[in-house]
Chains A and B, each alone.
Chain A
Amino acid sequence: MSMEISSLTPGVLVDTPAARVAVQPAAGRLSLRARKAALPALGAALGVSLPTRIGQRAAGGGIEAICLGPDEWTILTPADAVAGLLAAGAGVDHPHSLVDISARELTLRIQGPRAADLLTLACPRDIDTIPVGEGRRTVFDGATVVLWRDGENSFRMDIWNSFAPHLARLMGIGARELAAEPA
């Protein structure tokens, strides 16, 4: 069987009474690595106050930032703002790395009354321990993903392109199975 590396295009993948899974339109993504001392200057340059606790998020000026590790952040932004942010980061006088990773991942939006149950299909972490408005990097059926919890039953999942077709299929099966369960 042959499958394209990333055959997914933006649109709804599966829509059942249990959950709806959709591929989000392409967005700009940046990976930031820096030490704590550089944070205030980088935050001022990028226009968002960078969170310091792992899993915490911040938003401002159309961009979203999430802290993924002690020295690692991912920044989501409209695709046309990437060049401007890279230029702004280059002017910061602290050692850091700010890299465009827009082409690396795609995002699924998972929502519906049983969206949290759907994630338990392949995520060993207790989904209930992720507070609304935060996110975590975790594992979903063997692939590293970044899970953003936007609401009680509304999630976004950033997936590396090469894993995306597999996880998308899995989500489709899971959503249909949950919908088929007798009430």
Chain B
Amino acid sequence: MLLIHCPYCDETLPEAEFTYAGEAHVIRPPDPSALSDDDWQGFLFIRSNTRGPHYERWRHFHGCGRFFNAVRDTVSDRFLTTYPAGQPRPALETLTAASEDRK
């Protein structure tokens, strides 16, 4: 079972308390009716499907109930970091450097 750090509870907790909520930092266009069908389809359905570090949303469903963002390596399942929703995405270089240090 994965252990996930909830940035609101400030505890590292079992995966069973959390739910996955898709890719993070997908921003809804402010005026959808101005978009072409292709652009709107891109916003709705097209995701990056990254191999490696992936910015994604999780929700601490059986806990504080909050959505937050995480960077998870989709190959190793290692969580590089978690941070509250609304914060800018952390630069990947800083995260991989920090995770190399731990090895």
Stretch at the interface among A57-65, A68-76, A79-87: A68-76
Interface of B toward A, CB cutoff 8 Å: 1, 8-11, 13-17, 61-66
Number of A-B contacts defined by CB within 8 Å = 38
Stretch at the interface among A21-29, A104-112, A131-139: A131-139
Q: Are B62 and A54 in contact (CB under 8 A)?
A: no
Nearest to A53 among chain B residues (CB) is: B10
Interface of A toward B, CB cutoff 8 Å: 54-55, 68-70, 72, 124-125, 129, 136-139, 144
User: What's the dominant secondary structure at chain B's contact region?
Assistant: loop
Task: For A136, list chain B residues within 8 Å (CB).
Answer: 63
Task: For A144, list chain B residues within 8 Å (CB).
Answer: 61-62
With contact pairs A54-B9, A55-B9, A69-B8 given, residues A124 and B66 touching in the complex (Cβ less than 8 Å):
no
Q: Are A137 and B63 in contact (CB under 8 A)?
A: yes
Task: For B11, list chain A residues within 8 Å (CB).
Answer: 129
Nearest to A130 among chain B residues (CB) is: B11
Closest CB pairs A-B (n = 10): A139-B62, A69-B64, A124-B14, A124-B16, A144-B62, A54-B9, A69-B65, A70-B8, A139-B17, A137-B63
Q: Tell me how far the C-beta of A51 lies from the nearest C-beta in chain B, rounded to whole angstroms.
A: 13
Bound CA span A72–B10, Å: 16
